[in-house]
Structure 1
Amino acid sequence: MKDYQIFELGDFVTQGGATIRDAKLAYKTFGTLNEAKDNVIVYPTWYSGQHYDNEWLVGEGMALDPEKYFIIIPNMLGNGLSSSPSNTPAPYDQARFPGTTLYDNVSAQHRLVTEVFGIEKIALVVGWSMGAQQTYQWGAQYPDMVERIAPFCGSAKTSVHNFVFLESVKAALTADVAFEHGWYEKPPTKGLRAMARVYAGWGFSQPFYRQELFRELGYSSLEDFLVAFWEGFFLERDANNLLAMLWTWQNGDISANPIYNGDFEKALGSITAKAIVMPGATDLYFPPEDNEYEVSNMPNAEFRPIPSVWGHFAGGPGLNPVDVTFIDDALKELLAS
């Protein structure tokens, strides 16, 4: 029994000029859309994540309370539920799946919100990591529609250093001979395991490892954490899907579209939504400095770092209760404003 719905996008033309025929956007909703249609929260997914992985931030008594709000979790293109290398029929299957941008993703999500639900105003867009990138994109692409944004542990533009980090991830995955340039018949598990090891050094901070906080998550040793958490995390994913989302991430830039033509500061300045931007204080690939610059160019934004040693994972997926409370409190404050 699948717990999500499919919005049929039809023939979806990407920014790169490819047409994904019979394209699909998977989504899940929580709560009820009120009569005024003004209780809407959009909560995009993150790199390798699906809507299930967002649900830790939704619940009674939390900021994202289904008793109060109508919460839409759209699945990112490439994540295995929406149109992806793993579920698109030939000829755009596997290695031929076209690159999709933040602009493509948010354009598809906008169609869902307006065509299916008739929504004209969004109370809040919120997201972690690549979900944060889509959050910024929403704010810049549809400034008259979005009232508030809360991107956490993500940026409006992928930095050069972040791009290089992703190159190491990609190189580890594709070096597996079983990868077959994306035309594998069985999962390239050695590449997925290697990718996981590379990612492990970046997902959490130096203090996290120094303090052996992985033991709080139930792992008995560092090696147990690397195998059971990290390798286990990526072995469940499809390699081409991971690469498709990685392409989106590497090309992340809210100004790379016909609206702003690459003028990043103009795109940031157009985000009129009230914003609380929350980087992880020890995030190694979305460092606070990037967000500090972004906030300085946004007219209605506050810079509020998450004071955590959990690195990028201060933002999710609900691993550290202290960080969850910090984020949830900020969202409650933002929604009450």
Structure 2
Amino acid sequence: MKKIFSIVLLLCLVKSAFAQQKFYQIGDYPLENGQVLKDCKIGYRTFGKLNGDKSNAVLVPTWFTGTSQQKSFVANPSDIADSTKYFVIVVDALGNGVSSSPSNSISQKDKLFPTISIRDMVNTEYKLVKESLKINHLYAVTGISMGGMQSFQWMVSYPDFVDKIVPIIGSPKQSSYDKLYWNLQLNIIERGQYANETMKTVYALHQLNLWTPSFREENTQSDDYANYIKKIEEDALKLNPYDWAIQLKAMINHDIFQGKKPEEIATKVKAKVMIVVATQDHMVNPQAAIRFGKLLKAPIVELTGNCGHMATSCEGDKMRAHIKGFLD
């Protein structure tokens, strides 16, 4: 029996790794700022089976510059959105290079691509679920980092559409520290006129805040710095500065409150919420998420190690145990 279970588990993992990339062609899409995103398409992958009453659908939006292929692991039986229980929809957020993005647009390429928002990402995800997949209600939404920001936005954009929401190391609104950090990256790209070489500096800065100083000190010897920075710069040249910048702008302007008091917005949230934060996060400040979580009287899971924004990897077992318990 144990051998059979192991084989079934292996087959599930293999299926997750090779799920087909799919697209929903929305067409010309009006953005919230009044601009039009031409020939809008949304990429996604699905895992598991939708049950008879369509009540087991879980939406997982991607992190900053991440893709549904990279995020497919969440559907593994051992992970938070177990595809043996749920119908998992991992969706490529606008601007990630798979869904409509500056790098793949035909008529709005590179600088011609319109400015998008986190709300635009969520609105197109809603259209995918409602219009293409014909699902009228989601059991859960959960995402990491920018996926966590989208999860917060789902709470207020479609409060009656989701039962449970778990933002992971995301924020309902950027702090002044977050804006300083994200704008610094954006300024480097813009002042460098979107040259690929600028991504060497941007990506090094990104890596600087992805982890904590103590983690880097423990894991990278000073004598090995030359090899460390060489690898960062090699990886940076694989990144598209236009895609990077368009998602940066979306995060910089992210704010679910829109001038209203958090207390007022909290009363509009109908989903059951669990919030995961990393207390030593240098990438997305956790305080706004903690404050809003307290207003919602939501359970707050704190990842306290020195991995910073990457705490979801270093403390994955702790995080998964809490989330799986909440969802189940």
Q: Give TM-score, length-normalised by structure 1.
A: 0.86
Change (3 A) 1:233 1:312: farther
Give distance in 2, aligned partners of 1:14 and 1:263: 25
Could you give the per-residue CA deviations for residues 314-333 of structure 1, whole angstroms, max 9, x where no partner exists?
Answer: 13xx4x3xx22122111111
Q: Equivalent of 1:221, from 215, 221, 224?
A: 224
Instruction: Quote the residue 1:287 is aligned against.
Output: 285
Instruction: Quote the residue 2:305 is aligned against.
Output: 308
Q: Equivalent of 1:235, from 234, 237, 243?
A: 237
In structure 1, give the amino acid aligned to 2:229: L
RMSD: 2.1
In structure 2, give the amino acid aligned to 1:165: Y
Instruction: Quote the residue 1:94 is aligned against.
Output: 110
Change (3 A) 1:325 1:232: farther
Contact 1:200 1:226 in 2 (8 A): no
Give distance in 2, aligned partners of 1:67 and 1:168: 43
1:243-282 equivalences under 5 Å are: 243-256=245-258, 262-282=260-280
Instruction: Quote the residue 1:122 is aligned against.
Output: 138
Percent identity over the alignment is 24
Give distance in 2, aligned partners of 1:103 and 1:88: 20
Instruction: Quote the residue 1:164 is aligned against.
Output: 180
Instruction: Quote the residue 2:318 is aligned against.
Output: 326
Instruction: Quote the residue 2:327 is aligned against.
Output: 335
Structure 1, unpaired ranges of 5+:
183-187
Give distance in 2, aligned partners of 1:121 and 1:71: 13
Give distance in 1, aligned partners of 2:254 and 2:230: 30
Instruction: Quote the residue 2:8 is aligned against.
Output: none
Change (3 A) 1:12 1:222: same
Could you give the per-residue CA deviations for residues 116-165 of structure 1, whole angstroms, max 9, x where no partner exists?
Answer: 22212211111111000000111111111111111111101111210110
In structure 1, give the amino acid aligned to 2:172: A
Give distance in 1, aligned partners of 2:238 and 2:96: 12
Give distance in 2, aligned partners of 1:301 and 1:224: 44
Instruction: Quote the residue 2:58 is aligned against.
Output: 41
**Aligned: 1:5 with 2:22:** yes
Q: Equivalent of 1:30, from 43, 47, 53?
A: 47
| Structure 1 position 220, deviation (Å) | 8.9
Could you give the per-residue CA deviations for residues 202-221 of structure 1, whole angstroms, max 9, x where no partner exists?
Answer: 11012212322x58xxx993
In structure 2, give the amino acid aligned to 1:152: I
Give distance in 2, aligned partners of 1:333 and 1:65: 12
Structure 2, unpaired ranges of 5+:
1-17
Could you give the per-residue CA deviations for residues 16-72 of structure 1, whole angstroms, max 9, x where no partner exists?
Answer: 111112211111111111111011110000111111221233212333111111100
Contact 2:73 2:79 in 1 (8 A): no
Give distance in 2, aligned partners of 1:2 and 1:84: 22
Instruction: Quote the residue 1:148 is aligned against.
Output: 164
| Structure 1 position 265, deviation (Å) | 3.7
